[in-house]
Amino acid sequence: LTLPDIAGEYHFCAGAKPVLSLPMIPGLVYFWKNAGGRLNDPTVPNPTVIVPQDFDFLVEMNNGYCTSASTVSVRFQDSLLLQGLPDTARACIGDTIQLTVLPDVACTWEPSAAVICLNPNCSSVAVPVVQPEVLTVTGMDSLGCTGVVKTVVVPEEKEVILRDTVALCPGESIELFGQTVTEAGWYCDTTGMTGSCLEITCVLVQLGDTLTTNVAMTICEGQSVTLFGEVFTEEGIWCRTTVGSTGCDSTVCLTLTVIPDPVADLGSELFLCAGDTAWIMVDLDPDNTAFSWTDGWPDLERPVTPINTYVLILTDACGQPDSSLLVVDTWPLPIPDLGPDTTFCQDSFYLLQPVLPAGTISWMWSDSFPQLDRPVSEEGWYTLFVTDSCGQTGVDSVFFASAFCGPCEWDIPNVFTPNGDGVNDVFRVYKTCEAVIHMRIYDRWGQVVFDETGPDPMWNGVARGVDQPMEVYAYVITLSGDGFSREVRRGDVTLVR
């Protein structure tokens, strides 16, 4: 079973009888749910609207099996809306124009003598253009709704010339009559209207003046230049644009060059082998910097030899000078370091570890021992020869004496209390011999807080005049001396207050 489709919208003219007409089907019951006194009978399919106002009615249909609800909109209009006519109709004198009113309803024209009907409703007419005419059209539809619209017929001369002026700035363009225009001059376009009536539109394009000014300036580092009311100190291109008297842009661009201060850096010292010559080169801007060597050498690139001193003076375009002095010397003799004369214990040995000078390319012990680090177990002189890249030879000798070493017992505490009570106030080594002690103590950051050598060095918990905090400190203690074997101990001690 299906329910019928119903019209969703009804339009009524003012004064017409507003009757809603829904299908009358046997067994189908209608009920206008929200009529609220707006209908003469809300239970029939064709009620009359008794309140002439726009409203959306909800109608419910029931055929005994199914129920459906639909919205029916009622709209009232005061008059018929006529469309299709221009406000003004222009044509050449002697031509005939066609005017059409929409919708196609019965129309009357005033003055009627000015038009010729082209269809039965006279909604489409022909109008001979003779003189200016105001045409009034009254239309009426099948519901009796009426509407009125007017149009003005304006006769035109056979040729009409319209003129206009457009201003352009250089570099700008405008679209005129389908072409892109960039130059000054008259541009016209002829358009046929109706019959032989012509309309000619001409546009005068005028170019304004755009002024671009380039300013180039050079300053030295630390100087400034003021332009556009602004202060500039950095190198670059700076442009500012304003609107000129013609309405076009006026641009000023500043190209600023900054000459840096001269920097003469030859390095402080150069070492060469005796008799050698080296060439040095200084990099600078020759356009903005003048140079001179105090010895009169004419070029930036020059030879240098030992033993001499060379001075370069640079002067920039602002008169700012800078100078550099280079001392050229010969490499010193390569002298190795074997350390001081040393006594070692009999039935023991001392490990001799030489320190070689920079530039060493070869070394040799006087007794041809094959390794640089060597154990010493015999009394006597030990001599090392070294040779550098210049072919110079240097030598160092050290004497080792042997001695009988008796036992030496020593003890290192692991805590001390520097609180001024006279008990355990210092950290020291307790020993049974006259050996020399070298004591070095570090805080937990690896900074040295105590470093002393002597027969009995003692630390009172003070570093650089400040009491040190309670924490664990690391130490390296070396015991040495004539008749004693050298011994190194490492550990830590706790400071408690």
pLDDT in tens, 173-193: 888 888 898 888 888 887 655
Top-confidence range, 77-81, 257-261, 323-327, 338-342: 338-342
Residue 52: partners with Cβ closer than 8 Å, 6 or more residues away: 12, 14, 18, 76
* Nearest CA-CA partner of 383 in 371, 368, 374, 396: 396
- Dihedrals phi, psi of 113, to nearest 5 degrees: -70, -15
- The tokens for 233 are 């100190």
More confident residue, 67 or 343: 67
Determine whether domain 88-156 maps to CATH 2.60.130.10.
Answer: no
Q: Is the pLDDT of residue 468 over 90?
A: yes
pLDDT digits (tens, 9 = 90+) for 397-450: 999 988 766 667 889 999 999 999 999 999 999 987 778 899 999 999 999 999
Joined tokens for residue 83: 């469309």
Q: What is the pLDDT of residue 80?
A: 81
What local confidence, expressed as pLDDT, does residue 369 receive?
A: 96
Burial 30-60 (b: 16+ CB within 10 A, else e): bebeebeebbeebeebebebeeeeebebebe
How many Å apart are CA 325 and CA 476, to the nearest integer? 45
Residue 193 confidence (pLDDT): 57
pLDDT above 90 (res 257): no
Task: Please tell me the class of the 342-403 domain.
Answer: mainly beta
* Per-residue confidence (pLDDT) for residue 192, from 0 to 100: 59
Could you say which of 3.30.390, 2.60.40, 2.40.70, 2.40.320 is the CATH number of the domain covering 410-495? 2.60.40
Predicted local confidence at residue 19, as pLDDT? 92
* pTM for the predicted model, two decimal places: 0.34
**Arithmetic mean of pLDDT, 45-72:** 92
The half-sphere exposure of 17 on its side-chain side, counting CA atoms within 13 A, is 6
Give the total residue count for the chain.
497
Indicate whether 358 pLDDT > 80.
yes
pLDDT range class, residue 10, cuts 50, 70, 90? confident
Q: Which of 46-60, 174-188, 240-254, 404-418 has the highest mean pLDDT?
A: 46-60
Mean pLDDT of the chain: 87
Percent of the chain predicted with pLDDT > 70 = 93
Question: What pLDDT digit, counting tens, does each position of 374-398 carry?
Answer: 999 899 999 999 999 999 999 999 9
For residue 244, pLDDT over 80 is answered with no
Q: How far apart are CA 263 and CA 57, in angstroms?
A: 96
Architecture of domain 9-77: Sandwich (2.60)
Residue 407 has a pLDDT of: 67
How large is the average pLDDT for residues 322-335?
88
**Measured at the alpha carbon of residue 350, what is the angle toward residues 347 and 354, in degrees to the nearest 5?**
160
Q: Which two tokens stand for residue 336?
A: 């190795």
* pLDDT confidence bin for 195, thresholds 50/70/90: low
Can the peptide bond before residue 307 be classed as cis, meaning omega within 30 degrees of 0?
Answer: yes
Does residue 108 surpass a pLDDT of 90? yes
Which residue reads 């004064």 in tokens? 15
Count CB-CB contacts under 10 A for residue 296.
6
Measured in degrees and rounded to the nearest 5, phi and psi for residue 114 equal -85, -5
Summarised one tens digit per residue, pLDDT across range 139-177 is 988 777 888 999 999 887 666 566 788 887 777 888 888
